[in-house]
Amino acid sequence: MVATQSSREGWSSRSAFILAAVGSAVGLGNLWRFPAEAGTNGGGAFVIFYILCVVLIGLPSLLSEVLIGRHGQGSASESVVRVARDSGASEKWVVIGDIGMLVAFLILSFYSVLGGWVLNYIGVFAGDLVTSPFLGGAFQSWSDSEIEGLLPALLEDPVKLVALHAVFMAITIFFVARGVTKGIEFVATFMMPAFFLLFLAITIYGAFTGAFAETLDFLFTFEPEKLTGSVMLAGLGQAFFSLSLGSAIMITYGAYADRTTNLASTSAIIAGADTSVALIAGLCIFPIVFAAGFDVAAGPTLMFQTLPAAFSAIPVGSLVGLLFFVMVFFAALTSSVALLEAPVVWGVDRFGWQRQSTAIGIGLAIFILGTLAALSFNVLADWHPLGGMSLFANQGFFDVLDTFTAKVLLPVAALLTAIFTGWKIDKRLVRAESGLPDGLHKVWMFLIAYVCPVALAGIFIVGIVS
């Protein structure tokens, strides 16, 4: 069963679409993953190559996905089928939407666990602010070992991890169940402006109190010798991860766009905003870390272990830490809502299920899978779900989900989308939907037909080999 265009909810305005799409892209991929990748991959070389990848590969792929969604006017799978049918192509290309929906389902299962971590740190900083308000840095009565032990203590507590994961998933389910206008759009139009205000305030604070000049040098000084193959692949992978490509989100959100929305300019705004947030995240986090004398190459623990310790060494660190993690929560929630929306609208369109019951049912399934990911840090630490011969045999279930989605499913879905758009969709349909002038349209078609497939195939092959 496919929802008709007349009965389908849509965005109330172009600005609502932009805010929702930016909200889906701006999340932990920008605030947690980008600084970690930039720190471990040498700074400037990674950052500059990442920007290049967004322009030449990420943006063309983004336009392809929203184009498919608006023409198809359905879930990711239904939209692909409709575009294939109208182009005289095989309906077996539906696999693009099906893989994307699976990607969103799997990513949200461990993403929600990270969302629970964010809730934990909001509570930690709020509690410290209440007990020792404005006494210089944060954690005035804490020892260094207690501060550094915040994350290990959380990971060793299975009950707390699962409870926080449950709270974050419940909030996500609540807003998705309310629908496009009352739920998804409400979250985006309220939380994204609040996010940007907090984001800019903390960045300005870091510029005046932290090592801002050192950060600028680290992030934007290009050192050719650091641009290795692994750094280039990390930059390309980050471009796709942060833009939510290959996960059915942008196809789903594109289906809610009306015919008056120029998809080319809207896609450029979305990609520009997402990339700007990633760069500003570096300008927000690294000055504080540099000023406190901590290692910027801490990797995934940068936000949850290094940064809280850095807050303890700066003025009014409790307040800054609280505002920082509230900001991260806003970004994480807008992304989690988008991740849940993709499989929910798939269930509504394909099976005719009611939105509320579908959001609850799929949300509970994601919660159960995410619980296994949460427990992989403690109770199930020695459990390897794919067996001794698996590519991921030495990783816990959380890492299995992360690696499998980022290195296998995401590049496969994005690769198929590029081939489908560049070679299978009717050229007149693409021309009518793209919103690009003739010259730029030809450039975009070259990028999506030739450059994107080669780059994405490289991510997939190297990811599997490594």
pLDDT tens-place string over residues 320-339: 888 889 999 999 999 999 99
> Token pair for residue 269?
């705004």
Give 100-128 pLDDT, tens digit per residue. 999 999 999 999 999 999 999 999 888 87
Q: What rounded mean pLDDT belongs to the chain?
A: 87
Q: How far apart are CA 19 and CA 124, in angstroms?
A: 30
> Token pair for residue 110?
């461990």
pTM tops 0.95, yes or no:
no
> Token pair for residue 344?
């929910």
Q: How far apart are CA 342 and CA 322, in angstroms?
A: 31
Q: How far apart are CA 233 and CA 411, in angstroms?
A: 12
pLDDT at 209 over 50: yes
pLDDT at 66 over 90: yes
| Domain residue limits, the chain | 14-465
Q: How far apart are CA 378 and CA 402, in angstroms?
A: 17
> Token pair for residue 121?
């740190």
What pLDDT was estimated at residue 1? Answer: 39
Helix then strand count (H, E) for the chain reads 23, 0
Give 250-298 pLDDT, tens digit per residue. 999 999 998 889 999 999 999 999 999 899 988 988 888 888 787 888 7
Query: In the chain, pLDDT over 90 holds for what percent of residues?
Result: 48
Query: Could you tell me the pLDDT band of residue 395, with boundaries at 50, 70 and 90?
Result: low
Helix runs in 132-262, H state only:
144-148, 150-155, 158-177, 186-209, 212-220, 229-242, 249-254
Of 298, 226, 235, 289, the C-alpha closest to 36 is 298
* Segment 74-91 mean pLDDT: 96
Of 219, 263, 214, 303, the C-alpha closest to 62 is 263
The helix/strand/coil state of 261 is coil
Q: How far apart are CA 313 and CA 80, in angstroms?
A: 52
Residue 243 in contact with residue 452, Cβ under 8 Å?
no
* Segment 349-374 mean pLDDT: 95
pLDDT at 345 over 50: yes
**Maximal C-alpha separation, the chain:** 69
The topology (CATH level 3) of 14-465 is Amino acid/polyamine transporter I (1.20.1740)
pLDDT at 399 over 90: no
Helix runs in 210-316, H state only:
212-220, 229-242, 249-254, 263-292, 307-311
The helix/strand/coil state of 282 is helix
